[in-house]
Amino acid sequence: MEEVNEEMINFWDYITGPELWAAITTGLIQILIIVILAVTVVRVARRVIYRLFSNRQKGPIRISQRRENTLKRLASNVVAYVVYFIAGIMILDNVLGFQVGALLAGAGVAGLAIGFGAQNLVRDVITGFFIIFEDQFSVGDYVAVAGIEGTVEEIGLRTTKVLSWTGEMNVVPNGDITQVTNYSVHNGLALVDINIPYESSVYEAEKIINEVAATLPEKYDFLLGIPEIIGVQNLDVSHFVIRVIADTKPGFQWAGERNIRKEMQDALYKSGIEIPAPRVVMYSKEEEDHIRGQNRERE
C-alpha cells in the first residue's frame, strides 16, 4: 500500500513538476515555429510562381491563359504538399522524437502492400498527369466530363473540380474521366430555329430576319459575324422553320442562341408575324360525305 502511495506521489510530482511543463512548452513553441515557417514558405513560393508566370508572358515563349492558370494552381498545390509533408516529418522527428527513418522504411513496405489495393488511386494520378500534359482542358474551360457539365475550377493530380452552372461543385476522380468535351477551345456555333406561320411569306420573314441579323454583332460582342440564314429547315403541321446560324466566341454559343432568338422574335412580332399556334382541323359527317361526293363527281 505504501508502494502504491509512493508511486502516486511520484507521478503527481512528475506531472506537476517544472521539467514536464517546460518540455511541453518548448515542444509547442517548436511546433508553432515549424507551422509558421511552413505557411510562410508556401505563401512566398506561390507568389514566386505567379511572378514567374507573369514574367514568362513578356518573354519569347508564351503559353495560353487557360494553360497558365492550370499550371499555376497545380504548381502551387504541389509546393504546398511538399512543404507540409516536410514540416510534418520535422515535427515527428525533432519535437515528438519518433524515429523517422524507421517509420519511413516501414511506410515504404506498407505502401508497397497497399499499392496493390490502391489501383484506383494510381489510375487517378496517371490520368491527371496526362490531362495536364496533353492540355485536354484547363482551368476556366467549360467542359463535359463524366456526365457533368460545368466550368473547371481546379485540376489536380488525383481529382478535378467542376463547377456546374447551377452552383454545385463536383469533385471528379481523374480516373473516371474517359471522355472530354471541351466547349472552350474553338469558336462556338449558335443554331436557332424560327417558326413562321404558313400565312406569312417566306421572303418577307427572311427579309426581317436579315435586317435584325445585321445589327446583332454591334449589340453582342460574343457574336463573331452576322447571323446567316441557312434556309427553310422543316415543314410542320402549322408552320415552317427557318434556321439561322452564327459563329460565337468559345463557350458563348448558348448565349448567342438566346439573344438571337429574343431579337428575332421581337422584330417578327412587331412586324405582324406571330408565333404559330397548333391547329386541329375537324370535319363533321355531313361535310365528309359532301367532300367524298365532290371527289366522285370529279372522277
- CATH number for the domain that contains residue 35: 1.10.287.1260
DSSP 3-state of 248: strand
User: Which residues, including other chains, have CB under 8 Å from residue 206's CB and lie 6 or more apart?
Assistant: 229, 242
**Residues counted in the chain:** 299
Question: Helices marked H in 179-275 — which ranges?
Answer: 202-219, 253-270
Residue position matching grid coordinates 489501383: 119
Q: Is residue 281 part of a domain?
A: no
pLDDT at 257: 94
**Number of CB atoms found within 10 A of residue 277's CB:** 8
Closest CA to 160 of 119, 132, 118: 132
* Confidence check: pLDDT of 267 > 80: yes
Asked if residue 31 and residue 91 are part of one domain, the reply reads yes
Q: Is residue 242 part of a domain?
A: yes
Q: Is residue 239 part of a domain?
A: yes
Please, which pLDDT band fits residue 262 given cuts at 50, 70 and 90? very high
Q: Is residue 20 part of a domain?
A: yes
Asked if residue 142 and residue 66 are part of one domain, the reply reads no
Task: Give the torsion sign (CA, 76, 81, 82, 83).
Answer: positive
Q: Is residue 279 part of a domain?
A: no
Amino acid at 291: I
Which of 18-22, 140-144, 245-249, 287-291 is least confident? Answer: 287-291
Please, which pLDDT band fits residue 110 given cuts at 50, 70 and 90? low
Which of 19-23, 114-118, 252-256 is least confident? Answer: 114-118
pLDDT at 287: 59
pLDDT at 130: 83
* Confidence check: pLDDT of 258 > 90: yes
Q: Please, are residues 147 and 78 in contact by the beta-carbon 8 Å criterion?
A: no
Q: Find the helix or strand (DSSP H, E) in which 172 lies.
A: strand 169-173
Closest CA to 125 of 85, 176, 67, 174: 174
Closest CA to 186 of 148, 134, 141: 141
Please state, in angstroms and rounded to a whole number, the distance separating the CA atoms of residues 173 and 159.
4
Percent of the residues in the chain that have a pLDDT greater than 70, as a whole number: 70
Domain hosting 55: range is: 2-117
- How many independent structural domains does the chain possess? 3
Closest CA to 174 of 127, 141, 136: 127
pLDDT at 168: 92
pLDDT at 194: 93
pLDDT at 151: 92
- Residue 149 has phi, psi (to 5 degrees) of -115, 140
Confidence (pTM): 0.58
C-alpha cell of residue 164? 456546374
Q: For residues 203 and 26, which has the higher predicted lDDT (pLDDT)? A: 203
Alpha carbon separation from 283 to 182, 198, 218, 286, 288 (Å, rounded)? 53, 21, 51, 8, 6
Q: Please, are residues 269 and 194 in contact by the beta-carbon 8 Å criterion?
A: no
Asked if residue 48 and residue 142 are part of one domain, the reply reads no
Alpha carbon separation from 129 to 71, 101, 267 (Å, rounded)? 12, 30, 51
Asked if residue 6 and residue 113 are part of one domain, the reply reads yes
Instruction: State mean pLDDT over 163-186.
Output: 90
pLDDT at 26: 75
Please, which pLDDT band fits residue 3 given cuts at 50, 70 and 90? low
pLDDT at 8: 58
User: Which residues, including other chains, have CB under 8 Å from residue 144's CB and lie 6 or more apart?
Assistant: 180, 181, 183
Question: Helices marked H in 220-284 — which ranges?
Answer: 253-270
Q: Is residue 85 part of a domain?
A: yes
